[in-house]
Amino acid sequence: MPIPTKNINETDEEFIERCVADEFMQEYDDNDQRLAVCYAQLEDEEDRALEDINTKPTQEMADEATQGLEWREEFGRGGTEVGVARARDIKNRANLSIRTVKRMYSYLSRHEVDKEGQGFYSGDEGYPSAGRIAWALWGGDPGFAWTKRKIAEIEKEEKFDNMKNKEVRTIDVQDLELRMDGDNPTVVGYGAVFNSMSNDLGGFREYIAPEAFEGRLEDDVRFLVNHDANLVLARTTNNTLRLSVDEKGLRYEADMPNTSTARDLMELLKNGTISQSSFAFTVEDDSWEIKDGMNIRTINKVSRLYDVSSVTYPAYNAASSSVALRSMEEWQEKEEAKKLEENLAKEKEEGIKEEKDLMKRSLAEMRLKVLKNKY
């Protein structure tokens, strides 16, 4: 049996308590050892949040790297053995480590100045220069643009510790399909529906905006059962899970493997025992308003999509909504501060107006006294 993994709705404390008591952990001699292993597992899972960032080079980067290798072979200049090794990885579109992405960004940032040298651009004397060849080996302009985007994603993950900000939402699967292509079954459904008000999530309701998943279809997303990382059935990185967005919502197609878990899930889906889909995510941008006395949240942009799952129970509970509740509390505090500021400004304006009215009355009384004395 494997070491337990943290469930989507568990707190760190709940996971450690469950992990220590797990049957597998009894193989360790004492409780201190079990605690150490469980805490190490928790840290590993948090580290994996960064590993989930899609680091597969684009085709444009692969084309640049291929050109760089050909130039180096032809002209015998440009780049180092490290650059050549990097070019081969990029050419093959191999998933790069986070550390490699950071090195690429650092290298390309330092060497952008090489563009000012002779022979960098087509038509220059000495084209392609050693600098131009080295630039191509590291993915060229497409690689530089790509690493900038990836560094932004990495920094966002590191800043917000997204594993702790993960949320889960569940919907009834009304358009569920189980397609059979020969012996290859595919589960088709929706993980999220746009512009549809959720149930009460503990003091608020929620909409998902149609633009919420822009840029997220490239994430490393899994198709799971009950958000359990041990029950993975499909994945976007090997194209067994395919995500798309249409006018209704976030649509998924998951090819089922020939495993007992997949066979059990398909049977439960067919007979209606499981009838809900769920997705795990973190939010980059949301907005709040009050409608008919209810706090309404709109998820405008998702910063990370972790998984879509077939689930036995809805995830509308305190654990899955706690992040949103924090966001709501921050919004309420801002609204209260805004109202206070508006009230102070109004009071100040009324005070100024009252002073002006008093001054006008005083001037009128003075004029009246002058007129009386005059006549």
Looking at per-residue pLDDT, the higher value among 267 and 348 belongs to: 267
Residue 73 placed within a domain: yes
Question: Is 265 found in the same domain as 129?
Answer: no
Binned at pLDDT 50, 70 and 90, residue 214 comes out as very high
Instruction: State the average pLDDT over residues 312-335.
Output: 58
Per-residue pLDDT at 212: 94
The domain of 291 spans 168-332
- Per mean pLDDT, which range of 17-26, 159-168, 215-224 is the poorest? 159-168
Q: What is the pLDDT of residues 68-104, one digit of tens each?
A: 999 999 999 999 888 998 999 999 998 888 888 988 9
Confidence of residue 66 (pLDDT cuts 50, 70, 90): very high
68 and 152 in a single domain? The answer is: yes
**Do 178 and 205 reside in the same domain of the chain?**
yes
Q: Which residue has the tokens 């308590």?
A: 17
Q: What is the pLDDT of residue 320?
A: 45
Q: In the predicted model, is pLDDT for residue 164 greater than 90?
A: no
**pLDDT > 70: percent of the chain:** 85
Q: Is 211 found in the same domain as 147?
A: no
Q: Which residues face 253 on adjacent strands?
A: 188, 242
Q: How confident is the model at residue 316 (pLDDT cuts 50, 70, 90)?
A: very low
Q: How many domains does the chain have?
A: 3
Looking at residue 50, what is its pLDDT? 65
The residue from 160, 180, 213 where one domain ends is 160
Please indicate, yes or no, if residue 373 is contained in any of the structural domains.
Answer: no
Task: Tell whether 150 is covered by a domain.
Answer: yes
Can you give the chain as a three-state secondary structure string? CCCCCCCCCCCHHHHHHHHHHCHHHHHCCCHHHHHHHHHHHHHHHHHHHHHCCCCCCCHHHHHHHHHHHHHHHHHCCCCCHHHHHHHHHHHCCCCCCHHHHHHHHHHHHHHHHHHHCCCCCCCCCCCCCHHHHHHHHCCHHHHHHHHHHHHHHHHHHHHHCHHHHCEEEEEECCCCEEEEECCEEEEEEEEEECCCCCCCCCCEEEEECCCCCCCCCCCCCEEEECCEEEEEEEEHHHCCEEEEECCCEEEEEEECCCCHHHHHHHHHHHCCCCCEEEEEEEEEEEEEEEECCEEEEEEEEEEEEEEEEEECCCCCCHHHHHHHHHHHHHHHHHHHHHHHHHHHHHHHHHHHHHHHHHHHHHHHHHHHHHHHHHC
pLDDT at 1 over 70: no
Q: What is the pLDDT of residues 225-256, one digit of tens each?
A: 988 888 899 999 889 999 999 998 999 999 99
Mean pLDDT over the full length of the chain: 83
pLDDT at 270 > cutoff 80: yes
- 293 against 143, higher pLDDT: 143
Q: State whether 302 and 174 are in the same domain.
A: yes
Of 144, 160, 176, the last residue of a domain is 160
- Residue 2 counted as domain residue: no
